[in-house]
């Protein structure tokens, strides 16, 4: 089937989403009860060995000092001033991201404000891998009104909205965002562009692979010799993936692994095959790179491919993003909203 | 990760593959022993209820009449002539396909001769879903020197070769094809374009879904009410799929199902969601149609997605293609070479 085998990039257009503004003072005044309501239970500090149950949400609590300042309607940035501080705005958060990401901001990028406004006061920030409607609902129910998402909100890499203006699912999502007063910032290109890549940093930490990483080639890992099946089983268990797919001889000895999180196109993927025994990625086309790696095996080269699923292959990178934001944003709570793995397999249905 | 999120179509270029020609008379004279060698066992006529073990190959035997003609070095087309017939060529097979496919041949198409030559005498025809090196090896070992493949030979929809000229896996495959004297014909657009779609016909027959098909809308099926989990389990079992993925509430009631075999892009897929409870397809992007269907559910619409895997979602369409070819090609044996499902899952490794 051909449909959609060619994809054409189209310029970004943000939806026209009106906003209901929520004062951050309302939040700060009731911060403690809000926190309990949001989490539903007291949560210990983030443990990197823990992965994601379906709708798990980690909240990175502000420090006690900042909590007190926030409760008083003050921010760290304004300490020492006598007047109450102005609330932190979406635009200020984006400016701080630009100032801290460590690379020049690109002219051509999908990293834009997709919904909301730069002037909106921020009540809380949620990072997520993909701003699905479900993730937006959970973030909003927790009082977060700035969502920082790695993947699109509106179904295309460029968050195009023109094709969907009459679409009921698009309209429902757009209207929910507007009604809840949410701003959404797409943070893809620069989070990958950062050195080291923010997604890779989060994934490596989640997997506990720091000791195996090649400092010269950050996608490469050298492991004590194992087999493909054991490597795959370890990743599946660590990331709690339900629908991982593996290509290659399960008994093949494995030492060199190359991980490229997210989608990998053919021409990016082919050079990886020379560099490692195993390629790990999020998604790729079956009639392109998958055929190539099958052929490598038929040609006598022992090569393997592990397809994690796009979402689970980058998710921990946005968990780490919440931590990173905390380094330069102390005025509002910052949390990570895990998007659920979309799939289950027929012998283990998941509601 | 962005790499490869835009794909640009490039015009077709066939590789420069020399050929070792094999006389069809050599084959026809030893047809019986060749047949046994190829199959390794006597095979009953094709049973549609049977699916594909890994490397299963079905051979559609010529009729007894044509078998005798072939053994005598004659062809049906030349009956009554006194001189021995000229061997059937690749070009003649392609001309008969064009004459029988039932739609005008397109000017812009990927359906081209990818390797070999139009003048090559054909010793046998193998249809396959994807001309992987492994599938080519098995077809060639069985004496077939014309491979009719639905998916690409050289890793891109357009079978581009320029990017791979220095690539060792490409070179190995190209050289194998040349050394074995194989011709490869890409048969994608017109097999889908045929009414009814040749791939759909084969898949529906394989699944035994003829009675549920909507004659007005050939992608649509209406089933006696079942649940999503039961539908998915039935398909998994019938097509013997190892790594199927399902999205949606397993208990949701299901009646209307839309199947679009192969790859489905976002803009093709969205209208399907309105038309059915469940969309079945081969592969699609997680950040596009998968997000859209997740959002449809979060917006209160009960919708499901079953991703079969690209190869297994079209495979039976090329099994049927072998049957179809037999309707107008009697001079040479015609078989179907199943390409293996590329993947296994970590808890059930497959060598």
Number of A/B CB contacts below 8 angstroms equals: 259
Q: What integer pLDDT is reported at residue B84 of this predicted model?
A: 63
| pLDDT of A67 above 70 | no
Residue B307 forms beta bridges with which residues? B245, B281
User: What confidence score (pLDDT) does residue A351 get?
Assistant: 86
* Tokens 């014909």, located at residue: B185
* In the predicted structure, residue B73 carries a pLDDT above the cut 50: no
Nearest CA in chain A to B163: A267
Q: What is the rounded CA–CA span in Å between residue A170 and residue A165?
A: 7
Tokens coding A251: 């008994």
Task: State the pLDDT confidence band at B111, using cuts at 50, 70 and 90.
Answer: very high
pLDDT class of A83 with cuts at 50, 70, 90: low
CB B254 within 8 A of CB B277: yes
pLDDT given for residue B80 in this prediction: 40
Question: What is the Cα–Cα distance from B302 to A91, expressed in whole angstroms?
Answer: 37
pLDDT digits (tens, 9 = 90+) for A263-280: 999 999 999 999 999 999
Could you tell me whether strands A146-151 and A125-130 are parallel, antiparallel, or unpaired per DSSP bridges? parallel
> Once rounded to an integer, what is the mean pLDDT over residues A49-72?
36
The shortest C-alpha distance from A291 to chain B (Å) reads 6
Mean pLDDT of chain B: 82
What is the distance between the alpha carbons of residues B338 and B351, in angstroms, rounded to a whole number? 17
Only one residue has tokens 């927790």, namely A142
Q: Which residues, numbered 266 to 305 in chain A, qualify as contacts with chain B under a Cβ-Cβ cut-off of 8 Å?
A: 266-270, 273, 281-292, 294-299, 301
Chain B residues within 8 A of A140 when measuring between CB atoms: none
Q: Distance between CA atoms of B179 and A284, rounded to whole angstroms? A: 31
* pLDDT value of position B121: 98
Contact A267 B4 (CB under 8 A): yes
In this prediction, what percent of chain A has a pLDDT beyond 70? 76
Contact yes or no for B197/B218 (Cβ under 8 A)? yes
CA nearest neighbour of B74 among B34, B33, B31, B36:
B31
Q: How far is CA B149 from CA B20, B48, B184, B315, B330, in A?
A: 21, 21, 7, 10, 20
Closest in A156, A263, A298 to B134, CB measured: A298
pLDDT digits (tens, 9 = 90+) for A89-111: 999 999 999 999 999 999 999 99
Q: Which helix (H) or strand (E) holds B334?
A: strand B334-337
The torsion angles phi and psi of A266, rounded to 5 degrees, stand at -55, -50
Say what the pLDDT of residue B83 is. 53
DSSP designation for A92 = H
Closest among B286, B305, B307, B287 to B297, alpha carbons compared: B305
What is the pairing mode between strands A304-307 and A278-283?
A: parallel
Task: Please state the ipTM of this predicted complex.
Answer: 0.81
* Closest to A184 in 3D by CA, of A192, A173, A193: A173
**Measured between alpha carbons, how far is A137 from A35 in angstroms, rounded to an integer?**
16
Q: Could you read off the pLDDT of A147-185 as tens digits, one per residue? A: 999 999 999 999 999 999 999 999 999 999 999 999 999
Pick from A8-12, A161-165, B48-52 the range whose average pLDDT is largest: A161-165
* Best mutation target, B287, B301, B339, to test chain A (most A CBs within 10 A): B287
- Torsions phi, psi for B217 (to 5 deg): -130, 90
Compute the mean pLDDT over every residue in chain A, rounded to the nearest whole number. 82
CA distance B35 to chain A (A): 25
C-alpha span between B230 and B328 (Å, rounded): 40
């Amino acid at each position: 089937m051909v449909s959609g085998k060619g994809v054409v990039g189209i310029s970004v257009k943000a939806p026209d989403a009106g906003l209901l503004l929520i004062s951050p003072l309302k939040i700060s005044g009731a911060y403690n009860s809000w926190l309990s309501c949001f989490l539903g239970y007291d949560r210990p500090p983030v443990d990197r060995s823990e992965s994601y149950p379906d709708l798990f949400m980690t909240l990175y609590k502000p420090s006690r000092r900042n909590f007190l300042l926030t409760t008083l309607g003050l921010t760290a940035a304004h300490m020492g001033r006598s007047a109450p501080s102005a609330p932190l705005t979406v635009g200020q958060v984006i400016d701080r991201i630009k100032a801290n990401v460590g690379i020049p901001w690109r002219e051509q990028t999908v990293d834009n404000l997709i919904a909301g406004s730069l002037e909106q006061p921020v009540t809380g920030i949620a990072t997520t891998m993909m701003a699905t409607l479900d993730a937006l609902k959970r973030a909003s129910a927790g009082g977060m009104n700035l969502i920082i998402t790695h993947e699109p909100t509106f179904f295309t890499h460029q968050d195009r909205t023109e094709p969907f203006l009459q679409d009921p699912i698009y309209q429902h999502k757009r209207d929910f965002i507007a009604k809840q007063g949410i701003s959404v910032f797409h943070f893809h290109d620069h989070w990958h562009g950062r050195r080291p890549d923010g997604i890779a940093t989060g994934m490596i930490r989640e997997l506990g692979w720091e000791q195996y990483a090649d400092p010269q080639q950050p996608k490469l890992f050298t492991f004590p010799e194992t087999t493909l099946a054991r490597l795959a089983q370890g990743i599946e268990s660590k990331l709690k993936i339900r629908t991982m797919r593996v290509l290659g001889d399960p008994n093949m000895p494995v030492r060199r692994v190359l991980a490229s999180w997210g989608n990998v196109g053919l021409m990016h993927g082919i050079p990886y095959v020379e560099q490692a025994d195993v390629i790990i990625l999020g998604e790729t086309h079956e009639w392109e790179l998958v055929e190539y790696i099958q052929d490598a095996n038929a040609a006598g080269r022992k090569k393997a491919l592990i397809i994690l699923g796009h979402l689970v292959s980058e998710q921990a990178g946005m968990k780490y993003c919440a931590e990173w934001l905390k380094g330069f944003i102390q005025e509002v709570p910052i949390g990570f909203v895990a998007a659920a793995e979309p799939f289950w397999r027929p012998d283990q249905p998941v509601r």
